[in-house]
Structures are given as structure tokens and as C-alpha cells.
A and B are shown apart, each in its own frame.
Chain A
Amino acid sequence: MSTNPSQLPADALPSMETKKAAELKKPPGPWAILWKKFSHNPYAMSGLVVLLFFIVIAALAPVLTKYKPEAIDLMFANLKPGVDGHLLGTDELGRDILTRLLYSARISLMIGFSVAFASVAIGSIIGAISGYFGGWVDTIFMRIVDVMNSVPTLFLNILVLAIFGSRMEYMIMILALTSWMSIARLVRGNFLQLREMQYVEAAKAIGVSSWGIIFRHLLRNASFPIIVNATLMVGGAILSESALSYLGLGIQAPATSWGLMLSNAQEFMLIDPLQAVYPGLCILLVVLAVNFIGDGIRDGLDPRQQLTKSRRRLDKWRKNYSKSGN
């Protein structure tokens, strides 16, 4: 097949050139780079799939099962898996285990995300004020951080829930109040650097208020490390919730949670050992998924991440080269 260059459409070449020029003009944004690295990370992607799976089954719980999580049916207690339409069997009160797992996913995910959200809000605001204004405000806030870091977290959680009662709002509140410190430190550190930037000076020069600078300029520039930290926080909050519920201070009886199911299962360990396996497995999977996602985001944001890859190749090459050279 012979093609005559003159037969090419007249605008083919220039259009390609303009396209190239446009690409040159607009390099991929940070989100695009992040997504590209993230989607090439098998751990992060499998974490995302697992988390989405749990979110979907939690949202669709009433559709997926015809039983109620708190419905007691002593006629059908301690059924083996698969008997009478109970896919994973029933517990000692005849409650369907699969149903309880699904409804527990709702509680765990809700607590995980709300705690992460609340502590990010608290931590960012305190860290931002501390880092931007400095001075005595900073000193006071950092002493508060010291105090909160020195109180044993689990003990403080137990103490507050024991005093004020085990309600879910209280649990979210106290978990957030005991986990914002790392975010505050992080944001403060970032702000100490960012506030020296010239665009801050420029913004000040044209009369932007301090709060405008903090929220519109600085917080946005500090957002990536906050996102990474927040993701990892979701996993921590889910673990804390399950621990508190296991100890009997978290979610209370008619409601259900993986931790509560585990403490129940431990009592009836001799009758049905499998009962203790499912809820723990769910916690493990969700927390693992969230941690993988967090690590994936962190690696995706790290510009050195590609460097290490090539350096590894370089080291390999060097090794081979020096061996043959000697």
C-alpha cells in the first residue's frame, strides 16, 4: 500500500502539533499522578475493592437478608451453617449470624469514617492555628497535645464511656478527641513551612485575612498528608470500636457490632468455635483494606517512589557490572 503524503488530510499534521502543544502546556495534575500510581499498586487496588465491597453490603444489608439482626428465635438456636436458610448458622439466641455481620459492618464503617472525619476537623483547625499564628497560642495548643498524648488512650476511652454511658455518639466523640493529635502535629509542621512561602506574603499584601489564608491557601496545600493520615485513622477507629465493644463498654446489646459478637462468641466457644472466626475476619479485612489504601495514597504522593524503583534497577546493574569488571 503506497500512500502519497499529499493525500493526507491537510489539517492532520498541524492538529497533531496543537494536541502535543496542549499536552505540553498541561502536565498531569497531582490527582492524575496519584491515581496513576495508585491504580498500578495491586495492594492499594485490592484494598479499595474490599472496602467498596464492605460499603456495598453494609448499605444493602436490609435487602441482602430477610432476618432482623436483633430478632431472637430460641427455636432455631445454635444452628449449623447452611441449615434452614441460615447461611452461617445462628447463635445461642437464634439470631442469624450473617445478618448480624452485615449490620455490624454498618456500625463499624460509620464509626470508622465519622471518627476519622471528626479528628481531622479538630486536628487540622488546631494544627493550623498553632502553626500559622505561633507564639503563645502555639505553646498552649502543643501542651494540650502533650497532655492528650500522655493519657493512656484506651483507659481514657473506657473511663469516659463508663462515666457518661455507652452511647454511640459518646464513643465517636471520645475516639475523635483522643486521636486528633497526630493530625494537629502534622498540619502544624506543614504550616510552619508553608507560612514562609511567597504566595502567603502576596496574599497578605493584597489584604487577605488570616483565616482566608489559612483555609483557602494553606490548608489546601497541606491536604495530601492529611488525607493519608485520615485514611489510616479509619482503620484505627474501627479497631478501637471493636475493642471497646468487646470489653462491654461500646455498642450495647440490642444493637450489634463485630466486637460485641466476638465477646459473645468467646462465651460460647465450646459450643460453636466458628462463631468467633467470622467477626474477627471482617475486622481484619476492613482494617487491612483501609491500611493498604492509605499506604497506596502515601506512595502515590511520594515523588521519590519512582526514584527508588529505578535506583534498585541501577544497583542491580552496578552489581553485575562490577562483578564482570573485577
Chain B
Amino acid sequence: MTEYLIRRVLQSVLVIFLITILTFLLIHAAPGGPTQMMLSPGLSPEVFKQQAHNLGLDQPVPVQYVRWISGLLQGDLGYTFKNHLPVADLLWPRIGNTFILMGAAWLLSLLIAIPWGIYNSTKVYGLSDQSASFISYLGFAMPTFWFGILLQQWFSLKLNWFPLSDMHTRGKEGDIGDLFMHLVLPVTVLSLGFLASYMKYARASMLEVLDQDYIRTARAKGVKERKVVFHHALRNALIPIITILGLDLPILVAGAALTESVFNWPGMGRWFVQMATEREYSVLMAITIVTAVMVVLGNLLADILYAIVDPRVKLGKQGGKAA
């Protein structure tokens, strides 16, 4: 187990390292590169050169990379070009806002999807199962931002039940009820996507377990169907579901760029889109790296969870002690 853990952690570190290189090279492959962006074009050539030198932009790319990464390791995400503000100070509150939005959507869809999926696995092709698969198809094929726009038109402009966009009404920051009203529409949009996949997974995972021999044995022994489903089957069916939840954790931070843009939610995704059009490279790099680190950590967590929950997982080499 320890050996497996160490190997997975080292692998994750390698992947993160490669991602930093990829991102850095991408930015420096840009026509004009960061130099063009950071310095105003009106400067005379001498001043331009001097300033580029002061910022270290005239050094070879590997040197710049080392400087950037050593700053990154100390938590220094750089400064914005325009106002020269530290990126980290701007980033964390936005991550928090995204987390509020995604966390609510994630919890809601889990609470609906897993029980529903389990129920459907006991009544395959029933009315409930059919409507669930209809919702799944819709969730996979519908452009989320379109769904958002439609909700805005109906529930905000026409019926005036919920606010059109933003996170707070002006002057009402900190009011939980106000925040809740602003959450309803975007959470609905995001939940549909989550619901579509989680319901499918829960159902498929249960169906696979219900097909096993030990379930048949339990039924043959005369165990009540209720107990078979909840006691014998559910525990094993939850294992792959837990893994998928682990894999999806990073989405909590990264996945809402579109919904945030539709509802003008002050989160990280919308910020990324805005900064992309303004070519704020240090912000773009910071967000890409932060999200990538979260994805890698989520994968690692999922693997570890899986190894803990399921003793059947072969832990790498044969000598590894399966707990």
C-alpha cells in the first residue's frame, strides 16, 4: 500500500511538472509573447529594452521558466499586467464563489441522483427509469448555456421569481436569503449535467452488482429483497460511484465557466474567460495551473479511496500488501 501510494504521488508530481511546462511554452509561443502585452507599444526602443530587462523578459525562456516556477512554489502567482495587482489575492475569493455555486449544485444532484439511480436499478425499464434516461439524454445533449438563457427568460424576465444574474443584489452582500435566490437558476442548470451522469453511473453500478452470484445466493437463502438491495448490493455498488465522485471533485472548481458567464457569477471560470479576451497571461497561467493541480489531486484521491474501499484492487506489484 505504501509503495503504491508513493508511486502514485510521484506520478502526480511528474504530471503537474509537465503541465507547468506545457502552459509556460504555450504562453511564450504566442505571437508577440508576454513582452508585447506587458509593455505599452508607444515606448521608445531604448526604454522598451530597459523595461523588458527590468522585468526579466529578455532572458532565455528556460531561465524565465525557473524564475516563474520557483515563485509558484512559494505561492506567488504573479501580478496582473494592467493594474499590477497580485493574482493570488484576486483568485482566491473567486475560487470561493465558484465553490459555493458548484458545491450547491453537486450536493443537490447527488442527493437526487443516487437514490433515484438505485431505485431505477430495481425496476429496470419502468416509468421512473424511462424518464430518468430521458433526462440523462437531455443533460448530455443540451448546451448548458442555452438552458441557462431559457431559464433566465422564463423565471426571471417573464415570471420575475428569481434575479436575472450576479451573486448578490447591490447593497445586500452577506444576506443568505438573497444569495439563495441568486443560486437557484445557475444551480438548476449545473445540476442537470451532474444528474445526467450520476444517475447513469448509480444505476449501471447497481445493475452490475445485482447480477452477481452472491446476490443470487442471498435471494436463494430467502433474504428479503429490501435487505438484498440495501445491505448486500448497495455497499459494493457504491465503490465505483465513490471513485467517480473523486474524479469529479476538480469540476467543483473548474467546471462552471459557461454557467458563470451566462449568470454573470463572479467566479473563477468567468474571470478566466474575461482575462482571456484581455490577454492577462499571468492570470491565465495561474488559473490553468491551479485547476490542473486540483484535477491531479482529485485523481490521486480517487485512486487512494478506491484502494482503501475495495480490497480486491491489485496494488501495483505482487508484493504489495493489500489491506
Contact = CB atoms under 8 A, between A and B. Distances in A.
Interface of A: 143, 146-147, 149-152, 154-156, 158-164, 235, 239, 242-243, 246-249, 259, 262, 265-266, 269-270, 273, 276-277, 279-280, 283-284, 287-288, 291-292, 312
Interface of B: 11, 14-16, 18-19, 22-23, 26-27, 29-31, 125, 137-138, 140-147, 149-150, 152-153, 157-158, 250, 254, 257-258, 261-262, 269, 272-273, 276-277, 279, 284, 287-288, 291-292, 295-296, 299
Contacts of A156: 288
A189 B96 CA distance: 40
A2 B288 CA distance: 86
Contacts of B141: 235, 239, 284, 287-288, 291
Given A247-B261, A262-B149, A280-B150, A152 B292 contact: yes
Nearest to A235: B141
B292 A151 contact: yes
Contact of A291 (B26, B140, B279): B140
Contacts of A276: 146, 149-150, 153
6 contacts: A146-B15, A147-B15, A150-B295, A155-B288, A159-B26, A276-B149
Chain B interface, DSSP helix/strand/loop, else mixed: helix
Nearest to A43: B137
Contacts of A143: 14-15, 18
Contacts of B22: 147, 151
Given A150-B299, A265-B149, 11 more contacts: A150-B292, A159-B288, A162-B277, A162-B284, A163-B31, A164-B30, A246-B261, A269-B157, A270-B157, A273-B153, A291-B137
Contact of B145 (A150, A159, A262): A262
B276 A246 contact: no
Contacts of B258: 154, 243, 246-247
Given A162-B279, A270-B157, A291-B137, A152 B15 contact: no
Contacts of A152: 250, 254, 288, 291-292, 295
A147 B18 contact: yes
Nearest to A265: B149
Contacts of B31: 163-164
B143 A243 contact: yes
Contact of B257 (A154, A262, A273, A279): A154
Contacts of A265: 149
A241 B85 CA distance: 33
Chain A interface, DSSP helix/strand/loop, else mixed: helix
B277 A248 contact: yes
B137 A288 contact: yes
B146 to A, nearest CB: 3
Given A270-B157, A288-B137, A291-B141, A277 B150 contact: yes
A276 B93 CA distance: 32
Contacts of B16: 150
Contact of B19 (A150, A159, A243): A150
Given A163-B30, A262-B145, A249 B277 contact: yes
Nearest to B33: A163
B161 to A, nearest CB: 16
Nearest to A286: B141
A155 B254 contact: yes
Contacts of B158: 273
A152 B295 CA distance: 8
Contacts of A277: 150
Given A265-B149, A291-B140, A291-B141, A273 B296 contact: no
B153 A159 contact: no
Going nearest first, the 10 A-B pairs with the smallest beta carbon separation are: A280-B146, A162-B276, A287-B141, A163-B30, A288-B141, A152-B291, A150-B295, A152-B254, A147-B18, A158-B276
A147 B276 contact: no
A242 B18 CA distance: 30
A269 B152 contact: yes
Contacts of B273: 158, 247-249
Contacts of A147: 15, 18-19, 22
B320 to A, nearest CB: 20
B19 A151 contact: yes
Nearest to A154: B257
Given A150-B296, A243-B145, A262-B146, A155 B140 contact: no
A276 B291 CA distance: 32
B219 to A, nearest CB: 11
B61 to A, nearest CB: 15
Contacts of A150: 15-16, 19, 292, 295-296, 299
Contacts of B11: 146
Nearest to A295: B137
Given A143-B18, A152-B295, A155-B291, A266 B26 contact: no
B288 A284 contact: no
Nearest to B146: A280
A296 to B, nearest CB: 13
Contacts of B137: 288, 291-292
Contacts of B269: 154
Contacts of B145: 243, 246, 262
B297 to A, nearest CB: 10
B7 to A, nearest CB: 13
A146 B250 CA distance: 15
A283 B140 CA distance: 12
Contacts of B15: 143, 146-147, 150
A266 B264 CA distance: 12
Contacts of A312: 125
